[in-house]
Chains A and B, each alone.
Chain A
Amino acid sequence: MTTSSEKVQLPPGTLVKGKWNGKKYRLERLLGIGANGQVYLASLGRSVCALKFSDEAAELQGEANVLASLDHTGKKRGRVPFLLDVDDFTLDGRDLPFYAMRYVPGTPVSAYLKRHGSQWMGVVGYRLLERLAELHEAGWVFSDIKTDNVLVHDYGAVELVDFGGATAAGRSVRQFTEIYDRGYWSAGSRTADPAYDWFAFAMLWLHALDGKRLLQLTRALLPQNRHPGELMKLVRSHPRLRTMEGWMEKAFRGGFQDTREALLEWRQAIRSSERTAKSSESHVPGWMAGLLAGSVVLCAAVAAVWFLQ
């Protein structure tokens, strides 16, 4: 059996001319090989984009359809459309279908936090929730939130990649990663709704900041014992996540009204957790406070004696 990852890769510099629309792309390098295709960085004139090739025309088109309808519903000025082109590339007499999408540079969120510190969690999370809120308001659920699909670039700017799994709200989730999945943790169905994304969003932080213990937990737990309560135990015993306990709990239980509310509460939770972090950092040592209290008492006593006289 041959698999797509064993398929011939196209060398950098290959000129890809679309059979139907005639655009000419130049492949720069291979970005990645997924379960159902290969993604290349390509240039078109002076702009860059990503091209995804696959042998499965129908499945590829399905992904392109998702991107196209995101472009239709989430109208916003000045934003680069998700889907740029759908076409076939004729190679050795065979048509190889592909689509062009915008190219998103960046680092997966866990790597970003490792390099720049967990204090970036606040900004990155805020931006990500903002993106999700837009998506949800347009009637879509991303569904496959995981660290590889959340790319962070300079100063915490965030983009989601791999929209192939995005699902219309109310439909069954078409693509998910087990440990991020609400159903896997017996915390709800696999029908796409905003709460499905909140759950995966909360898992994202657990995975990015405390991945080792999370993986240990998934290995140790019997399926019937998988429960958000177990996840909350991890949250409570992690120094950074503990400060977000209330928010995380609500996300695991799907307790927000909508994603805007989740966003608002995220901001508040981050602010107050920063404040507690700061106050505990600049904590005044006990002896100093004691000394101060002592001197105040002494001063008051002296003043009292002086007044009485």
Chain B
Amino acid sequence: MKQILLITDGCSNVGESPVSAAALAFAEGITVNVAGVIDEGAIGEQGAVEIAEIAKAGGGMSRIVTTHQLSHTVQMMTRQTVAGTIRHAVNQELKQLFGLDSVGALPPPKRAEVVRVMDELEETSELRVALLIDASASMKPKLHAVEDAVRDLALSLQSRNGRSAVAVFHFPGDFGHLPCVLDCGWTTEAGKLHSMFTRIRMKGTTPTGPALLQVVDFIRETCGIIKSELLEPPHIERGDNEEVRSDYVV
């Protein structure tokens, strides 16, 4: 299972559209979640729309939260995306094999068995989360909270039974020609993520789209081999399933 988690606070302003970049990621089996972080001020309407659109195109979810809620939100989104991906795959199987709409259409005893298997997968499947962090100037005061959230996520992933790894990127890149920079390659240890943002130089532009594409490339290059059949999210028919998933959290 592969996820990209984008943490940003506003609109992209350079390069390709982040929405189509997210759609491409999803087509390659990578779910894109977006956390929009705000301080006191509200996020602009344009930014809010873009954040929602990116997540929708990327098959994931989006939340706009304050820095205090960030850790919790990042955890929640990652976990629910794992559960959602498994649920989707299982429902798909049920539809093909038995013509049933979802797990809920099974009689309770069977439902219990299927859900047991799903929980097992949720805990044991391999999971990779690439974090893409907006380091444009306006994000500077929020980077401490972001760093904390990243470390917290790594701690949770470390506790899973299945192999889990995180990689961290920030954008824009330092030298003009790259949209984003790799801060930390796939790692399983939360300890390695200590104070990695201290060397980031804040810049003005926000090339969200190109940065997303670069992360997709990175994932394709580093874990192209580990595709697992069941967990490949299908690219079609996201309509009502999406509804359910975005519906259920308060």
Contacts and interface: CB of A to CB of B under 8 A. Distances in A.
Contacts of A86: 108, 111-112
Contacts of A56: 244, 248
Interface string B106-132: 011001100110110001000000000
Interface string A222-240: 1100000000000000000
A178 B248 CA distance: 21
B159 A190 contact: yes
Contacts of A295: none
B250 interface: yes
B249 A36 contact: yes
B156 A61 contact: no
A170 interface: yes
A57 B111 contact: yes
Contact of B247 (A3, A20, A64, A95): A3
B36 to A, nearest CB: 14
Interface residues of B, number: 36
A35 B247 CA distance: 11
Contacts of A54: 248
Interface in B148-167: 148, 151-152, 155-156, 158-161
A170 B160 CA distance: 9
Nearest to A85: B108
Interface string B144-184: 10011001100110111100000000000000000000000
Contacts of A2: 247
Nearest to A172: B159
B102 to A, nearest CB: 7
A179 B119 CA distance: 26
B208 to A, nearest CB: 22
Contacts of A222: 144
Contact of B104 (A97, A183, A190): A97
B65 interface: no
Contact of B107 (A20, A59, A62, A184): A20
A172 B108 CA distance: 26
A189 B111 CA distance: 32
A68 B111 contact: no
Interface in A167-192: 170-174, 178, 183-184, 189-191
Given A171-B161, A223-B151, A68 B250 contact: no
A88 interface: yes
